[in-house]
Homo-oligomer: A and B are copies of this chain.
């Protein structure tokens, strides 16, 4: 039997749209899927752990790795650099496992262009008002930052129709179950 190659699942949402919460749930459930850890130059938030939530890098280090082609995709977002470590993801895929990349719209569009089996999922907030409320509830950013994030969110939402799937995040449980269903379905999809 030919060994199955893993698939890349991209999970995007605007800031505060819930992609981190959905990933946390999937991790806990041991769903047989691996998670990519992004590299970033932004400062760690409280409770964020290096190597678990992100790989925190200096700008110099990030740019050096980037120049050596060590990122599958990278983006400049909200004054900081973000990137997906290429070797890590490739290793998971060739072991036959699927991998989830929780990345933003610009990164997702780069992954879409690459010739790999990749599946793009966009988590939609039930409404724009919901998103506003969630971002404010997080209390990790000041007012100006929130306004900026909302402006970006609006632009990001306009990309959702370039994704393969959209999942309305009415409740975390429902969103997680739908993402799981998409992964199961995609494992059974005929490759051409």
Contacts of A167 in B (CB 8 A): 188
Stretch of A46-54, A61-69, A177-185 lying at the B interface: A177-185
* Size bracket, chain A contacts: 20 to 34
- A166 within 8 A of partner (CB): yes
Number of copies: 2
Q: For residue A162, which residues in chain B have a CB less than 8 angstroms away from its CB? A: 190
Chain B residue with the shortest CB-CB distance to A192? B161
Does the CB pair A164–B190 fall under 8 Å?
yes
- The A contact surface, by secondary structure, is helix
- Say yes or no: is A163 at the interface (Cβ < 8 Å to chain B): yes
Chain B contacts for A178, CB-based, 8 A: 184-185, 188
CA of A165 to CA of B185, assembled, Å: 8
A165 touches B180 (CB 8 A): no
A190 partner residues in chain B, CB cutoff 8 A: 160-166
CB of A11 to closest CB in B, whole Å: 13
- Give the distance in Å from the alpha carbon of A79 to the alpha carbon of B178 in the complex: 42
| Apart from A165-B189, A178-B184: 6 A-B pairs, beta carbons within 8 A | A160-B190, A163-B190, A164-B190, A177-B184, A182-B188, A185-B185
